[in-house]
């Protein structure tokens, strides 16, 4: 594994993070733990939602956080579950909401 790569085993699966993925400017001496934590949380939430087919209750259990905390973090990170036919979420479309 490269020096600037971090691998984390979670209940949601293995997450491999390259330091360059964690915010802009990290390679230029910006080693913000807060920024890195936000990026990792966002990635894990997206993976948990995908793994559970959009079931937020089950995703929260996988992430070992409360359902309310998951909803708060989804709002904070502007994550949404795109709805498919009959109002049901598709299995793969968990994205960051673009500026609206």
Look at residue 87 in the predicted model and tell me its pLDDT.
55
Look at residue 17 in the predicted model and tell me its pLDDT.
65
Instruction: Name the residue ranges covered by the structural domains of the chain.
Output: 5-96
Distance CA 97, CA 65 (A): 22
Q: Where are the alpha helices (DSSP H) in 11-77?
A: 33-51, 56-63, 67-76
CATH class of 5-96: mainly alpha
pTM of this structure: 0.65
Q: What are phi and psi of 55, to 5 degrees?
A: -75, 105
Look at residue 100 in the predicted model and tell me its pLDDT.
46
In tens, the pLDDT along 19-36 reads: 555 555 455 566 788 888
In tens, the pLDDT along 46-96 reads: 999 999 999 999 999 999 999 999 999 999 999 988 665 555 555 444 555
């Amino acid at each position: 594994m490269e020096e600037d790569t971090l691998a984390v085993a979670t209940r949601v699966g293995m997450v491999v993070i390259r330091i360059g993925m964690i915010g802009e400017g990290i390679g230029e001496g910006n080693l913000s733990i807060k920024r890195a934590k936000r990026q990792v949380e966002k990635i894990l939430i997206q993976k948990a939602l995908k793994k559970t087919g959009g079931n937020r209750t089950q995703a929260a259990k996988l992430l070992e956080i409360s359902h309310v905390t998951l909803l708060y973090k989804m709002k904070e990170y502007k994550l949404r579950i795109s709805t498919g036919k009959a109002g049901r979420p598709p299995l793969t479309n968990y994205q960051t909401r673009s500026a609206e």
